[in-house]
Amino acid sequence: MDKRRGPIMVPRESPHYHRMRYYSAIRKGLKHMSQSTTYLDVPTHVIDDNAFIIFQTGREDPHDRKHSSLSTIFSIWNTMVGSGLFTIPWAFSNSGIVLGLIISFITFAISYYTCSIYVRLARNDSDFADTMYKYFGKKGWVVTMIFSILLMFSVIVIYYELMSQALFPVIAALIEWGGASEVSLDMGLDLSRFSLFYTCIALTLILYPVVSKRDISMFIRLNSFGIIFVCFILIYILAYGFYSLSNTTFEISNEESDLEGTTRNISLFRNKFNNLAGMMTLGYYIHNVCISIVKENKHPENNTRDVFIGYFLVFLSYSLVGSLGYLGFSGYTFKANIRETENLLYMFSATDMLAFVIRIICFCQMFSVYPMLFCVIRNQFGTIFYQGRELSNDIYLAFNATLLIVATIIGATFPKVGSILGYVGGFIGLGLIYIIPISLFLKRYKLQIEDPNLVEALDNNTVRSVKRKNPEFSPKLVIEESSTSSPGKQDIVNQTSDMTLQESLLQNGSYKTYKKSFLKFYLLCVIHAFIVLIGIIILALQFLSFEEW
Amino acid sequence: MATQDSEKVQKVLLMGRAGSGKTSMRSIIFANYLARDTYRFTFTVDINRSRVRFLGNLVLSLWDCGGQGLFMEQYFQSQKDQIFKNVEVLIYVFEVVSKEPDKDLEYYKNCLAALEDLSQGAKIFCMIHKMDLIADSMRDKVFEQKQQEIIDVSKDFDVTCFRTSIWDETLYKAWSDIVNILLPNVQDLKSSLKDFCDANSADDVVLFEKYTFLVIANHDNIGHKDDHRFEKISNIIKQFKLSCIKTNFQFESMTFKNSYFTAFVEEFTSSTYIMVISSDPDVETEAISFNIKASRDYFENLVTDSLGSS
């Protein structure tokens, strides 16, 4: 018999309890008189849901996995690279090309490293927050969920800004072609004439019914076209880069370019690299999504390799777009200073045909993704505040409306996408990319030294938590008997040991190797502290700026 | 002899189509083993086993309407007098997920026609049963729809409809409401119970119907939060009654004592049980027992009066 399941008991206070007992007494009595007893049998729709076993999606059969390595790599690349490409050349212009490449590389390396921690440690968990719950309990789960929901909210705001800033020139162009005078593309808050503000209002009115639609299958299908859009954008930016290389003379200098002349200055190192650092942190973030992508991999042993290749491709993309984009859009054909325009597309007038088309493409790409962002943030909200129950209709609509209104306000009053990306990347990146995975890694490492059985059980999800008699202590973790490799071994492990550590070590191995492992652990702590330090510096930089060196 | 019986006895008819849930309803409400509907091949033989008493001198008998083959229909027609004379109450059970709702209403109309001829003053209660098979969000709508259909068909009769299911508290509530309607002088009972309660310095006094443990009246001096408590007590006692039947003993009374309270459940009048709960440690429990015996006659008259005037 499966020892893990006990009988489902109706609580005594519930009126069901006595009713069911009474009915079963009637049934028993009838049996006694040898009469039919199929009536008064409890029908399934009356039974408590807890009596049914729920299929756990985190424990799928590995043979169900479908995707090849190539598909996995492609998904990883597609998820990270998007319309944000338009802000990278601006960031590179502020940091200088060489410094930009260096920063890009550093953030790539660190992000990949922490992402691989996620992939290795999460195993069959469906969500990273569950892994955190396993190792850090409720607090870990809460912190992860808060960061995730903040991140999703920031992405919603950023996408909103990008959409409104793509839509604004498109409408302006249509107005101009309709015969009106030229509409200024100034992004300041101006209520007197058609401006970004009115675009935002229009956009919100369009978006509200779209994101409130419950059936998102249409958008999922649309989203698969998104990759074509992204390719267009990439080609466009790179092409411009090559074009400018051919017709402009570039000089290496940190001075502002003389916009009237034909030569342009290109910096290699500048001191305003804070934006790039923050932006890159966010640019390499797919940590929580990565788990679901990688789960479908046909050969899970290749997971870390595939993630690496995916990340590397993204690094290449960002580097190319950054450097060539910077070169391209500093070309002498432009009269605007790239250092000031955070969104590349604003280098063009509203009526430029090519830009017009590209703007529409950008808008479509983001529009197809937008409802799904809302879907994710609603799920997160539901999981945190409503224990995963479905949101009632009122809350559902109110939630969507609130998010859109906040996004509109920010989009209209602070349309600086690059800066927002920097701040968000710095702060949330610090949490989700630096601190959380590293603390998870270190905790597991330490636990591996102290209690390898527990770690193995946690990996395989064969632990349960058992409430202690004294409610002040955190729940005990109990490894289920079927999972321990040595039969008959009673492995009840506490997070705060009853047995001293020395005693348990004497059972498991020598004290010397234990000490050596611990030394290694401390060393790892120090190394990883450096990584976290980098994260903190990046965050700090968003708010400071150095003087010119 | 059969005609004599039907002249004296006051009846409650529990009717409905086969499979509508009458039998389970009866077993549950009356704590009474009856797996099959009664087919009256000979009237006298079945009299004692199939009839259950209700509210003193009312007798409840259960009848299938319609279907079951030609023999049953003819018998029903020929025995119409026997069945429909002296009927106080008709409880008609409709199955909400019925496959032949039109036929259901037709049989119902036939019953009403028979009553119109033979027992004009009868009270009619309709149970719209098996509501658990309807999704939660649809229940109100479906109930109102069916209720309207029934009222339209019932013409001049005064009909009260209930929605019931044996899998929640609605069944017990519906029958309790029926008891309350059949005892219009419940207020008198209540005030007498209050006096009784105060006289005994008791916390709680409840008057239950004898056979079903449905609540006739109650008075409590402390507020209660649990609305389901009467159903729970009823189920517990009925379950105990069933165990008593197995041993061929009849349940008569129960005294329950612990450090928090003392509870008496005793036969009271000919159609009621009384439950008295006292938590005051200074009160002598024997005194309460004595008081119960002493008030029997008074309440017997009170209950009979209220039944008589209905």
Enter the ipTM.
Answer: 0.82
Q: Which of B173, B235, B242 to mutate to test the interface with A (most CBs of A within 10 A)?
A: B235
Within an 8 Å CB–CB cutoff, is residue B27 touching chain A? yes
Nearest Cα residue in chain A from B245: A29
Which among A13, A15, A36 has CB closest to B169? A15
A381 CB contacts (<8 Å, ≥6 apart)? A149, A391, A399
Nearest Cα residue in chain B from A42: B167
Q: Which fold has domain A63-440?
A: Amino acid/polyamine transporter I (1.20.1740)
Q: What is the pLDDT, as a whole number, of residue B157?
A: 82
Burial of B9 (0-12, 13-18, 19+ CB in 10 A): middle
Indicate yes or no: CB of A18 within 8 angstroms of CB of B231.
yes
Interface of B with A in 131-170 (CB under 8 A): 132-133, 166-169
Which among A23, A30, A46 has CB closest to B35? A30
Nearest Cα residue in chain A from B172: A19
Residue B277 above 80 pLDDT?
A: yes
Interface of B with A in 47-86 (CB under 8 A): none
Listed range (A152-166, B54-68, B83-97) with the worst mean pLDDT: B54-68
A115, A290 Cβ separation under 8 angstroms: yes
List, for residues A381-419, the tens digit of each pLDDT value: 887 887 766 777 788 888 888 988 898 888 888 877 777
Q: What is the pLDDT, as a whole number, of residue A48?
A: 65
Token code pair at residue A383: 């999981």
Report the C-alpha gap between B153 and B151 in whole angstroms: 5
C-alpha distances in Å from residue B303, one per residue of A389, B199, B298: 51, 20, 9
Residue A34 above 80 pLDDT?
A: no
> B8-182 in CATH: which number?
3.40.50.300
List, for residues B204-231, the tens digit of each pLDDT value: 899 888 888 888 888 888 777 787 888 8
Q: What is the pLDDT, as a whole number, of residue B76?
A: 62
Q: Which DSSP string do the residues of chain B spell out, in sequence order?
A: -HHHHHHH-EEEEEEE-TTSSHHHHHHHHHT----S----SSHHHHHHHH-EEETTTEEEEEEE-S-S-HHHHHHHHHTHHHHHTTEEEEEEEEETT-S-HHHHHHHHHHHHHHHHHH-TT-EEEEEEE-GGGS-GGGHHHHHHHHHHHHHHHTTTS-EEEEE--TTSTHHHHHHHHHHHHH-TTHHHHHHHHHHHHHHTT-SEEEEEETTT--EEEEEESS----TTHHHHHHHHHHHHHHHHHHTT----EEEEE-SS-EEEEEE-STTEEEEEEE--TTS-HHHHHHHHHHHHHHHHHHHHHHHHT-
A288, A127 Cβ separation under 8 angstroms: yes
The Cα of B156 is separated from the nearest Cα of chain A by a number of Å equal to 36
Q: Could you tell me which residues are beta bridge partners of residue B159?
A: B124
The Cα of B188 is separated from the nearest Cα of chain A by a number of Å equal to 30
B103 CB contacts (<8 Å, ≥6 apart)? B17, B66
Domain with CATH 1.20.1740 in chain A: 63-440
The Cα of B152 is separated from the nearest Cα of chain A by a number of Å equal to 32
Looking at domain B186-306, which CATH architecture does it have? 2-Layer Sandwich (3.30)
Interface of B with A in 232-251 (CB under 8 A): 232, 235-236, 238-239, 242-243, 245-246
Per-residue HEC secondary structure of A187-201 comes to CCCCCCCCCHHHHHH
The CB-based long-range contact list for A311-317 (8 Å cut-off, 24+ gap) reads A311/A76, A311/A108, A311/A111, A311/A112, A311/A115, A311/A284, A312/A108, A313/A73, A313/A77, A314/A76, A314/A77, A314/A80, A314/A81, A314/A108, A314/A283, A314/A284, A315/A104, A315/A105, A315/A108, A315/A284, A317/A77, A317/A81, A317/A85, A317/A234
Report the C-alpha gap between A478 and A532 in whole angstroms: 33
Q: Could you tell me which residues are beta bridge partners of residue B263?
A: B256, B277
Most confident range (mean pLDDT) of A117-121, A441-445, B93-97, B301-305 is B93-97
Q: Which of A13, A20, A22 to mutate to test the interface with B (most CBs of B within 10 A)?
A: A22
Rounded to 10 degrees, what is the CA torsion of A482, A484, A488, A491? Answer: -110
Q: Which of A14, A16, A17, A19 to mutate to test the interface with B (most CBs of B within 10 A)?
A: A19
Report the C-alpha gap between A126 and A291 in whole angstroms: 7
Domain with CATH 3.40.50.300 in chain B: 8-182
Report the C-alpha gap between A106 and A525 in whole angstroms: 19
- Mean pLDDT, rounded, of chain A: 74
List, for residues A204-239, the tens digit of each pLDDT value: 888 888 888 776 667 766 666 667 777 887 888 788
Indicate yes or no: CB of B166 within 8 angstroms of CB of A40.
yes
Q: Read off the pLDDT of each residue in A499-527 and give the average, rounded to a whole number.
A: 68
Which among B35, B166, B228 has CB closest to A35? B35
* A:B CB pairs within 8 Å: 59
Q: Which of A18, A20, A32 to mutate to test the interface with B (most CBs of B within 10 A)?
A: A18
Domain with CATH 3.30.450.190 in chain B: 186-306
Report the C-alpha gap between B217 and A318 in whole angstroms: 81
A chain contacts of residue B29, beta-carbon cutoff 8 Å = none
Assign B126 a pLDDT band (cuts: 50, 70, 90). very high
Q: Read off the pLDDT of each residue in A468-493 and give the average, rounded to a whole number.
A: 50
Q: What is the pLDDT, as a whole number, of residue A152?
A: 85
